[in-house]
Structure 1
Amino acid sequence: MARRNFGSQITALVVDDNVLNRRIHEKLLESAGVRNHEGVENGKIAVDIHCHGRRFDLILMDMDMPIMNGIQATKELRSMGIGSMIVGVSSRCTETEIRKFMESGLNDYHEKPLNTAKLNSILDKMNPNFTNK
């Protein structure tokens, strides 16, 4: 299945307190064909959105944010039964920090900023879940 057709089936949430990073990641999603996406500035908003019944197939989660960081938000989403693919995206790069973030319930982790190759890698991992959607 072509990535553009596959991308059009995905809903994505970009969670990052830096507006520039959100815009970059949203533009990358659009270039991959993901038209149904939204951006929010902290983990609490991401959790609240899900509490109100919204669901996303892919969540790009920053680690360091005010109010509720990515580790707290990921743990909360997983405790709510959210099975979305959650990908940590952070400038943190020590093995200990990455492991702590992964252990919160991430499916994958990439260093900021995302680029086309990194996003394609994420989408390729998701593709089997969408072949019959």
Structure 2
Amino acid sequence: MARRNFGTQVTALVVDDNALNQKIHQRLLESVGVRNEVVTNGKEAVDIHCHGKRFDLILMDMDMPIMNGIQATKELRSMGIGSMIVGVSSRCPETEIRKFMESGLNDYHEKPLNTAKLNSILHKMNPNFTSNNK
């Protein structure tokens, strides 16, 4: 996959307890030039923000131990975090997705993400974003 430059350095936080999904999302983000970090649950996502870290994009899993994605998203929004938060989950019942969206998500995609889904997310963040990978 050819490396593309999003422009200014975009940062992302991958919040997922599944190691395989972490790797897939990390590599996908890196392939488009997005610097990223990984945490394994919602509490760690909240804690990293409490310690002053900020990210342009947060990929938030729904089902995680300690603090799930719905709780973490609500907490981050209550802290004033304005990052684009995209819910990612393998569960797709409409009621669960709606509950997740209502927690403060900007977008939702079924996981794992792929190039087309990531390009859609990045385009929403920056309409000038264009992918070389058609």
- What is aligned with 2:26? 26
Match of 1:115 in 2: 114
Task: Give the structure-1-normalised TM-score.
Answer: 0.91
Identity %: 87
TM-fit CA distance, 1:4: 2.8
**How far 1:25 sits from its partner (Å)?**
0.2
RMSD: 1.7
1:74-109 superposed Cα distances (whole Å, 9 cap, x missing partner): 000000000000000001111100000000000000
How many pairs were matched up?
127
Of Structure 1 and Structure 2, the greater helix share is in 1
> Where does structure 1 differ by over 4 angstroms across 4 or more consecutive aligned residues?
none
**Partners of 2:10 and 2:56 within 8 A in 1:** yes
Maintained 8 Å contact 1:88/1:109: yes
Q: Which runs of 5+ in 1 are unaligned?
A: none
SS, match of residue 56 in structure 1: coil
- CA-to-partner distance for each residue in 1:42-80, whole Å, 9 max, x for gaps? 000000000011000000000000000000000000000
Deviations 1:5-59 (A, max 9, x none): 326510100000001100100000011111x210110000000000011000000
TM-score by length of 2: 0.90
Alpha-carbon distance between aligned partners in 2 of 1:18 and 1:7, rounded to the nearest angstrom? 30
